[in-house]
C-alpha cells in the first residue's frame, strides 16, 4: 500500500524568485527568441531577444502570480515578467507536475490586487511517498488538462469563422467591392425604441427585465435575469420577441448589440438599451452580424464623439448606413450562421464536459487535503 504524507507547502517548494532576471512589461515584444511568462491569464505574455535574462537551468519551475493567484507550469527556457511573479522550485521528494496540480487544487482567498503568496504558504500538500505514484497521478491529470485546453483552443479558433464568411459573401462594407446598396436603418426597421425605466428585483414581481449587464460575451442567461414592475402599457411597448436586436446606448459598452433568438414570454428590456425590430426588408441574423463589422463600429464611434460620456441615442441609431445585399443572399448567410451556432453549441458543451472531468479528477486526487483544511477552517470560525 502506498503511504501518503502531508507537508506544509513551504517545505515542498523553494522560492527561487530572487535568482530570476525579470523584464518589465514595457519591454515585452510581440515576437522574439524567448517567451516571457508572467502572472497574467495568457500563458505567454510576450517575447524578448535578451538572452541574458533567460531562465534555462533547473527546470521545471512553477510560476505563481502574487497578485492574480494564477499558477503556471514551465518546463522550457523562459524569461520572467517583472510584476508579481514568484518562481517556485519543487523539492526533490515531490514530482514537479504533481505539485503543480496540487497547487491548482488549493482554494486561495482573493485579496484583490494585494499579495497572495502569504496565503499560499499557509497551505498543506498531501502526496504519496513514491515518486512513481505521484508521476502516475500527474499523468492522468495532465491528459485531462490537455483535453480541456484543446477543447478551449478549438472554440477560440472558430470565433472568427462567421466574420470570414461574411466578408467572403458580402465583401468589406467599408470598401463595398461588390457595389451593394446602402440604406438608413430607419428604412429597415419597423421600430427603434427605448426600454422600461424600472428597478430590478430578484422577486418575480413582473416580467423578466433585460439589462446591459445581463449580456455577457454575447450570451444572456435568462435564469439569472431579474424581474421588474411595469404597467400594461410599458409591457406592450417594451416586450421582446425573436428577431429583435438590442443595443447598449451608453457607457463603456456603447454600441454592443445582442440578437434575441429566444426569451421568456413577456420579457421586457431596460431603458439603457435600445431595441431595433427589423422589418421584412432585411434578415435579422444578417443585420446582427453587420453590427459586428468595422463599418458599423466606425459609425458608432463617430456618432458618440463629442459627448461627455460615450453614448448613442435612437435618433442617431436610425441614421446608421446599412449595407443591403439582396435578401435571398442575406438569408443564405443566416442559414450558415444557424448551422455554425449548432456546431458552436456542441463545442461549448464539449469544453464544459472536459472542464468538469478535469475538476473532478483534481478534486479526487487531493480530496483528503481539502477535507482536512476545510475542517480546520471551520474550527477557526467556531
Beta-strand pair 71-74/61-65:
antiparallel
Q: In the chain, pLDDT over 70 holds for what percent of residues?
A: 94
Please report which confidence band the pLDDT of residue 114 belongs to, taking 50, 70 and 90 as the band edges: confident
Please write the tens of the pLDDT for every residue from 160-206. Answer: 899 999 999 999 999 999 999 999 999 999 999 999 999 999 999 99
Q: Which of 30-44, 49-63, 299-313 has the lowest mean pLDDT?
A: 299-313
Please report which confidence band the pLDDT of residue 311 belongs to, taking 50, 70 and 90 as the band edges: confident
d(CA 76, CA 21): 15
- 365, 347, 366: which is closest to 148 by C-alpha? 347
Supply the pLDDT for residue 368: 59
Is it the case that residue 343 has pLDDT exceeding 50?
yes
CB-based contacts of 33: which residues, under 8 Å, 6+ apart? 47, 48, 49, 51
Please provide residue 259's backbone torsions phi and psi, each rounded to the nearest 5 degrees: -85, 125
Please report which confidence band the pLDDT of residue 309 belongs to, taking 50, 70 and 90 as the band edges: low
Is it the case that residue 277 has pLDDT exceeding 50?
yes
Q: What sign has the CA pseudo-torsion 79, 81, 82, 88?
A: negative
pTM above 0.95, yes or no: no
Q: What is the DSSP string of 347-361?
A: HHHHHHHHHHHHHHH
Q: In the chain, pLDDT over 90 holds for what percent of residues?
A: 76
Supply the pLDDT for residue 156: 84
Residue for grid cell 448551422: 339
Query: C-alpha distances in angstroms, 97 versus 6, 38, 102, 140?
Result: 17, 19, 9, 11
CB-based contacts of 185: which residues, under 8 Å, 6+ apart? 192, 276, 317, 318, 319, 320, 321, 322
Judge contact between 295 and 287, C-beta under 8 A: no
Q: Work out the angle at residue 148's Cα, subtended by the Cα atoms of residues 101 and 113, and round it to the nearest 5 degrees.
A: 55
Taking each helix axis from N to C terminus, what angle separates 327-365 and 367-381, rounded to the nearest 10 degrees?
80
Supply the pLDDT for residue 102: 95
d(CA 373, CA 122): 10
Average pLDDT rounded to a whole number, residues 277-303? 94
157 versus 14: the higher-pLDDT residue is 14
Amino acid at each position: 500500500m502506498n503511504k501518503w504524507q502531508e507537508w506544509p507547502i513551504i517545505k515542498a517548494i523553494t522560492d527561487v524568485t530572487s535568482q530570476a532576471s525579470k523584464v518589465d512589461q514595457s519591454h515585452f515584444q510581440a515576437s522574439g527568441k524567448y517567451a516571457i511568462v508572467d502572472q497574467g491569464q495568457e500563458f505567454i505574455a510576450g517575447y524578448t531577444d535578451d538572452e541574458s535574462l533567460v531562465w534555462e537551468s533547473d527546470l521545471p519551475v512553477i510560476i505563481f502570480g502574487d497578485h492574480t493567484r494564477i499558477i503556471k507550469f514551465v518546463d522550457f527556457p523562459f524569461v520572467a515578467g517583472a510584476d508579481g511573479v514568484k518562481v517556485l522550485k519543487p523539492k526533490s521528494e515531490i514530482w514537479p507536475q504533481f505539485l503543480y496540480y496540487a497547487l491548482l487544487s488549493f482554494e486561495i482567498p482573493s485579496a484583490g490586487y494585494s499579495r497572495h503568496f502569504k496565503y499560499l504558504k499557509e497551505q498543506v500538500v498531501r502526496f504519496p511517498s513514491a515518486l512513481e505514484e505521484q508521476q502516475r497521478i500527474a499523468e492522468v491529470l495532465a491528459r485531462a488538462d490537455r483535453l480541456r485546453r484543446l477543447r478551449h483552443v478549438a472554440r477560440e479558433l472558430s470565433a472568427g469563422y462567421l466574420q470570414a464568411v461574411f466578408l467572403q459573401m458580402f465583401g468589406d462594407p467599408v470598401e463595398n467591392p461588390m457595389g451593394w446598396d446602402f440604406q438608413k436603418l430607419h428604412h429597415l426597421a419597423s421600430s427603434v425604441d427605448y426600454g422600461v425605466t424600472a428597478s430590478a428585483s430578484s422577486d418575480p414581481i413582473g416580467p423578466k427585465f433585460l439589462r446591459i449587464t445581463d449580456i455577457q460575451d454575447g450570451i444572456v442567461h435568462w435564469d439569472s435575469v431579474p424581474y421588474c414592475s411595469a404597467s400594461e402599457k410599458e409591457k406592450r411597448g417594451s416586450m421582446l420577441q425573436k428577431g429583435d436586436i438590442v443595443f447598449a446606448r451608453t457607457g463603456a459598452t456603447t454600441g454592443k448589440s445582442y440578437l434575441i433568438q429566444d426569451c421568456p414570454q413577456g420579457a421586457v428590456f431596460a431603458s439603457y438599451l435600445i431595441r431595433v425590430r427589423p422589418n421584412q426588408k432585411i434578415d435579422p441574423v444578417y443585420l446582427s452580424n453587420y453590427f459586428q463589422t468595422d463599418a458599423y463600429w466606425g459609425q458608432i464611434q463617430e456618432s458618440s464623439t463629442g459627448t461627455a460620456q460615450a453614448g448613442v441615442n435612437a435618433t442617431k441609431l436610425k441614421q446608421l448606413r446599412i449595407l443591403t445585399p439582396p435578401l435571398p443572399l442575406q438569408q443564405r448567410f443566416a442559414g450558415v450562421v444557424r448551422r455554425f451556432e449548432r456546431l458552436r453549441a456542441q463545442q461549448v458543451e464539449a469544453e464544459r464536459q472536459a472542464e468538469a472531468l478535469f475538476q473532478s479528477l483534481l478534486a479526487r486526487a487531493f480530496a483528503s487535503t481539502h477535507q482536512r483544511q476545510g475542517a480546520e477552517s471551520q474550527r477557526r470560525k467556531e
